[in-house]
């Protein structure tokens, strides 16, 4: 698997752009907002899932670029509202300037959050690599401090620090904590992160258990069957599940756009069979829908960051029912 992925990454520089586009079409809704809206409408009507939208792009080099993201995300919010789609937004703090000027990034995110709050919409800060883990968490805590509670964070099961992060976020935000737990796409160094499949899955299970125990809303983002099975088991032990309102005393993240204390989340175009099964069982499932001009950079960068993705992509083309 590792070798296949590395081979693919090796030939990327000479891979024709049309081929990358053909592959990425399945994972990226399109170049513009209209494509994202129509992809969501189609899938939502067909399957009954809800969505979170991501405008492709991150780690900008000038603060002027942050204005582009601010404007386009404002348009995304307006479109979600006017089209009546069950969706929220996922944003990358570095696209708002986090690695250039933290204060500016904070002000940009606050402006967007205030607009989302006026429409009762939730905003998720995606988690990027370890350089910004703490500053991303700090943004969420600061926004809650000033009364903007429609924001949550993502934590990565592969990072050693994650259990401590869950404890401290939940202790600060109490029942208002809303955490998306994922394995983590960035291949972090072994000094700070698990690097093996089993250890990452154990980390995931422990992180979810800690979130459940500490009254966090649990966004369970994975396509891995054993991880989903473990999550379903943990939910059952907590007497949480389809049609049961969240029984945890201290949990406060509720609303029409939320599941009963938890939801599953999956990427567009990935493991559709599993997504449909969970939906059929009645679970809330949110699909992460990326769109944007930067589809090429996004696809190449993801493959470079984690060559195993190339293997997953190849496998899923051989198994079309999993779309």
Query: Per CB under 6 A, does 49 bind ligand FDA?
Result: no
Side-chain-side CA neighbours of 295 within 13 Å: the count stands at 24
> Phi and psi dihedrals of 320, rounded to 5?
-60, -25
- Give me the least distance between CB of 266 and ligand FDA, in Å please: 5
Task: State yes or no: residue 186 binds ligand FDA (CB under 6 A).
Answer: yes
- Among the listed ranges 78-86, 97-105, 178-186, 242-250, the one in contact with ligand FDA (CB under 6 A) is 178-186
Say how far apart CA 136 and CA 97 lie, in whole Å. 12
Q: For residue 24, what are the CA distances in angstroms to 270, 302, 303?
A: 11, 11, 11
Does 133 bind ligand FDA (CB under 6 A)? Our answer is no
| 224 counts as binding ligand FDA under rule CB under 6 A | yes
CA distance 181 to 153: 9
Decide: is 316 part of the binding site for ligand FDA (CB under 6 A).
yes
Sign of CA dihedral 188, 190, 195, 201: negative
Q: Which stretch binds ligand FDA (CB under 6 A): 3-11, 80-88, 99-107, 313-321?
A: 313-321
Q: Does 279 bind ligand FDA (CB under 6 A)?
A: no
| Minimum distance, C-beta of residue 312 to ligand FDA, in the bound complex (Å) | 3
Decide if residue 222 touches ligand FDA (CB under 6 A).
yes
Q: How far is the CB of 298 from ligand FDA (least distance, A)?
A: 12
What is the closest distance, in whole angstroms, from the C-beta atom of residue 177 to ligand FDA in the complex? 16
Q: How far is the CB of 239 from ligand FDA (least distance, A)?
A: 25
Contact residue for ligand FDA among 154, 170, 173, 240 (CB under 6 A): 154
Whether the CB-CB separation of 262 and 218 falls below 8 Å is answered with yes
Nearer to ligand FDA, 33 or 310 (CB): 310
- Burial class, 237, CB count within 10 angstroms (exposed 0-12 / middle 13-18 / buried 19+): exposed
Phi-psi region of 215 (alpha: psi -120 to 50; beta: other; left: phi over 0): left
Closest to ligand FDA by CB, 28 vs 66, is 28
CB neighbours of residue 155 within 10 Å: 25
Pick from 8, 265, 268, 272 the residue near ligand FDA by CB under 6 A. Answer: 265
CA angle 120, 182, 151 (to 5 degrees): 20
Residue 68 touches ligand FDA, criterion: CB under 6 A: no
Q: Which of 137, 266 has the CB closer to ligand FDA?
A: 266
Place of tokens 């991303």: 136
Helical segments of the chain, H only: 2-11, 17-24, 33-47, 63-83, 102-118, 133-145, 162-173, 197-213, 225-237, 272-280, 295-305, 308-318
Between residues 144 and 286, which has the closer beta carbon with respect to ligand FDA?
286
* Residues in contact with ligand FDA by the rule CB under 6 A: 126-127, 154, 156, 182-186, 221-224, 227, 265-267, 270-271, 288, 309, 312-313, 315-316
């Amino acid at each position: 698997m590792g070798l296949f992925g590395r081979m693919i990454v090796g030939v990327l520089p000479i891979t024709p752009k049309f081929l990358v586009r053909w592959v990425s079409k399945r994972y990226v809704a399109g170049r513009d907002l209209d494509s994202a809206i129509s992809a969501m409408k189609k899938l939502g009507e067909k399957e009954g899932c809800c969505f979170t939208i991501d405008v492709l792009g991150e780690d900008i080099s000038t603060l002027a670029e942050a204005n582009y993201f601010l404007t386009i995300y404002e348009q995304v919010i307006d479109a979600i509202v006017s089209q009546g789609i069950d969706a929220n937004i996922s944003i990358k703090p570095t696209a708002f300037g986090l690695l250039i000027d933290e204060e500016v990034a904070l002000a940009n995110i606050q402006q967007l959050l205030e607009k989302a709050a006026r429409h009762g919409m939730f905003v998720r800060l995606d988690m990027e690599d370890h350089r910004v883990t703490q500053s991303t968490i700090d943004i969420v805590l600061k926004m809650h401090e000033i009364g903007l509670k429609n924001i949550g964070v993502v934590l990565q099961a592969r990072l050693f620090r994650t259990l401590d992060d869950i404890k401290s976020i939940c202790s600060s935000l109490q029942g208002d904590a809303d955490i998306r737990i994922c394995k983590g796409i960035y291949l972090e160094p072994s000094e700070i992160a698990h690097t093996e499949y089993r250890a990452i899955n154990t980390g995931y299970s422990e992180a979810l258990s800690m979130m459940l125990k500490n009254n966090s809303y649990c966004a369970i983002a994975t396509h891995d069957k054993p991880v989903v099975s473990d999550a379903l088991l943990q939910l059952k032990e907590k007497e949480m599940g389809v049609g049961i309102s969240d029984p945890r005393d201290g949990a406060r993240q509720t609303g029409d756009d939320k599941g009963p204390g938890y939801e599953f989340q999956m990427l567009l175009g990935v493991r559709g069979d599993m997504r449909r099964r969970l939906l059929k069982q009645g679970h809330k499932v949110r699909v992460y829908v990326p769109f944007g001009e930067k589809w090429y950079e996004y696809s190449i960068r993801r493959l470079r960051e984690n060559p195993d993705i190339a293997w997953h992509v190849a496998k899923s083309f051989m198994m079309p029912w999993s779309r």
